[in-house]
Structures are given as structure tokens and as C-alpha cells.
Structure 1
């Protein structure tokens, strides 16, 4: 773990809000990127990235350094996104654009401004949009292992532990997911496959 992270985490656990703000600033773009890959929507990614950072802040006292802070917070954003996708699958989705009702009336939700987030100003936006479109076409199981392995950089063991399945299942899903994504990309835009960081 980076020395800066260790110091900031210690300060966070001692009650420093400023220290957590520095950690959040350091990792917010990566957190957003993961949320975007899971959700495929800028608005959803903004809201869920923010929710993940809030969850991380509230649970920072339980962080024990058994994994890097990056891995820990990536687990949090992945869980937030999976929970949201499960809610949607069950038909219990509340629109992120819907107002919040309070005793004083309606309050419109406001997403944080991510104008300069990596997926918005990415060097090759067209290729990224194509990759995201293909990701969205995959089954949830395939999409999940691809994001965790290729975007989050989790090991096979970490994925298996998180998804509560065997290493064999993880490897099988990942191989099938890569094959499905490669075939779809080849069918759509063959020249976009070359150099894609999701296809190795």
C-alpha cells in the first residue's frame, strides 16, 4: 500500500474528514470508471460512484489494511453497482431522475459534475462507446467478471471470493466473456479490437 494512503487512512480513522477528501479525490475517477463500466450510463455512474465513496467513508474505521485501499474501495463500488443491478432486475428500480419527497416538498436529485471524468474526455471516445455497448450486451455474469478482472484488476482468487464461486467457474466465465466480447467487436468494428484493453 502506498505510504500516502497509509497516512491518510490513519488520519481518517482518527476522525479527519479532510484526509478522506484527499483519498476520495485520488480515487474518484477510477471509482467512476468502474461504475460506468457496470452501469453503462454517465448519470448512474455519477450517483453510484458517489454512493460508494459515502459507504467507504462510513466504514473506513473497519479498514484493516489486509488488502490495498484501492482494492477495498473497488470492492465497495462493485458491490454498490451489483446491488443496483439486482434491484433493477427485480423491478424495484426508482428512477435516479425522480425527485425526493420530503415534508417541505420535492427536491430534485443533483448529480456531481464529472465533466472531466475519464470516460467523458477519453482520447478515443468512439472506441470506448463501442466497448461499453458490447459490455452492456453481455449477460450480467459475463459483464461482472470482465469488469472485475480487466478494469478493477482483481485476481482470480479475489473474484472467486467476492462472487462466492470456484476458481474454475471464474476462469470459465471469463474465457466465455472474452470470447463473446471479441466476437461481437469483430462483427461490429474489427479495427477497434486491436489494442483494446479489455481483450487480451
Structure 2
């Protein structure tokens, strides 16, 4: 039993040494120390895609999803603004979100 445990401990020790040699530690080699800037053109492309999809969407769906999703209005306030029931607003927002999911990559 002792020889078996010593073999396991020796192999674990050697594996740790191999791992340490493969991995370089330190701040100078760290990826997090490199400056990182988000690519603004990707967000602009996404914004353009969203604008195209919203333009193609029926007006009653577009108005509901913009009021709820973009402007942050409550369902009750959106229902008052659009002069319809809360259930109608919830349905329109749900369908508009479905259209957005289907149209955007």
C-alpha cells in the first residue's frame, strides 16, 4: 500500500511540475494586462439591422415594443398611450419580440 501511495504522489508531483512549465505565470504575460477596446462598428451594424427590422414591422407592434423595450414604459402606461388594453399591449410586445428574434441573426 505504501509503495502504491508513493507512486501516486510522485506522479502527481511530476504532473504539477509539467503543468507549471507549460503555463507561464506573471503579469507581463497576462492577457488581462493588454489594453482592450470594444469594436464600435459591430454595435453600429447591430443598430442598423435593428432599425431595418423595426421599419419593416407593422406600426402597432413597433410602437408597443419601442414603448416597453426602449423607453421603459410600464404596460399600463403604454396601454394608455396607445389607447388599448394591457393584454393587447402584452400580446403586441410578445409578437414584436418574436419578429425581432426571427429577423435578427
TM-score under structure 2 length normalisation = 0.59
Cα deviation for residue 143 of structure 1 reads 0.5
Mapped pair 1:137 → 2:56: yes
Which of the pair has more CA radius of gyration?
2
Q: For the residues of structure 2 that align with 1:149 and 1:123, how far apart are their CA atoms?
A: 25
Q: For the residues of structure 2 that align with 1:156 and 1:125, how far apart are their CA atoms?
A: 29
**One of 79, 88, 96 as aligned partner of 1:169:** 88
- Structure 1 segments unaligned to the other structure (5+ residues): 1-120, 191-200
Over the residues paired in the alignment, what is the CA RMSD in angstroms? 1.6
TM-score under structure 1 length normalisation = 0.31
Matches within 5 A, 1:5-16: none
Q: For the residues of structure 2 that align with 1:150 and 1:140, how far apart are their CA atoms?
A: 15
Pick 1 or 2: higher relative contact order, CA cutoff 8 A, min separation 6: 2
Matches within 5 A, 1:87-126: 124-126=43-45
Cα deviation for residue 123 of structure 1 reads 6.9
Cα deviation for residue 122 of structure 1 reads 7.7
Q: For the residues of structure 1 that align with 2:77 and 2:41, how far apart are their CA atoms?
A: 28
Structure with higher helix content: 2
Q: For the residues of structure 2 that align with 1:178 and 1:123, how far apart are their CA atoms?
A: 21
| Counterparts in 2 of 1:184 and 1:152: CA distance versus 1, 3 Å | same
Q: For the residues of structure 2 that align with 1:146 and 1:133, how far apart are their CA atoms?
A: 15
How many residues are treated as equivalent by the alignment?
A: 66
Runs of 4+ residues deviating >4 angstroms: none
Cα deviation for residue 181 of structure 1 reads 1.2
**One of 179, 192, 196 as aligned partner of 2:98:** 179
Matches within 5 A, 1:182-197: 182-185=101-104, 190=105
Q: For the residues of structure 2 that align with 1:174 and 1:122, how far apart are their CA atoms?
A: 28
